[in-house]
Structure 1
């Protein structure tokens, strides 16, 4: 499943993995999220409802460009820097092209709209 992430006038695509968490995310779309910058490595913001953790490991070590979910905070996460393994992280999918770099160039908080690609 592909999603489109819009921040300002920039559009990014991401491909979601086949998982219960990713399916739960798609069921909530479209959604607009106010996201906070954390240390220049990730942007996080709360989702309307928690995502399923069925079949997920205890945590993950996300790569730059991953789209994730931080279960304890019910946050969608866009990884644009190096984050190490942390409990509660679920990898939902991966952004395409230079999305992570372009997100990293945006200082501070952002507002992102996530929708199914093609809608």
Structure 2
């Protein structure tokens, strides 16, 4: 046994035996992560990155979730929309068709940077300020940052596309 082994390792060796200790210290292989870690790893592997680019050259990337609404939104891409200011809190745009919301939460409490779908109106919403819980709002994903143009009251035209 090495002299620099920690007290915890020695206690583990005493309790579970040397053969089990080497297996317990080994890095878990695929499928051996705790369920919460497996979910996070799978979600990270399945994450879809998108880019919102404006004609002036400014762009921002975002990560979409894996819910039914986010998957349906992905199927619309590439998409060019004009984002208009709403309530000095968010930019909104009409979508070419309504997204499914079955299996989604009844609503969310949006935060700055959230990309969402407001089912009652059938529109895309990008929050640049905090807002309260809204029934019928479905979080689609999250922007990496909020572009300055989104914080202004002027409309912004963006092309939204999947990042290869």
TM-score, normalised to structure 2, is: 0.67
Residue of structure 2 in register with 1:107 after alignment:
153
Over the aligned positions, Cα root-mean-square deviation in angstroms equals 1.3
State which of 21, 24, 44 in structure 1 corresponds to 2:92.
44
Identify unmatched segments of 5+ residues in structure 2: 1-47
TM-score, normalised to structure 1, is: 0.90
Highest Rg: 1 or 2? 2
Residue of structure 1 in register with 2:66 after alignment:
18
Residue of structure 2 in register with 1:73 after alignment:
121
Q: Which has the higher strand share?
A: 1
Alpha-carbon distance, 1:89 to partner: 0.5
User: Which protein, 1 or 2, shows the higher relative CO under an 8 Å CA cutoff with sep ≥ 6?
Assistant: 1
State which of 97, 101, 107 in structure 2 corresponds to 1:53.
101
Q: Any runs of at least 4 consecutive aligned residues in structure 1 with deviations exceeding 6 A, and if so which?
A: none
Identify unmatched segments of 5+ residues in structure 1: none
- The number of aligned residues is 116
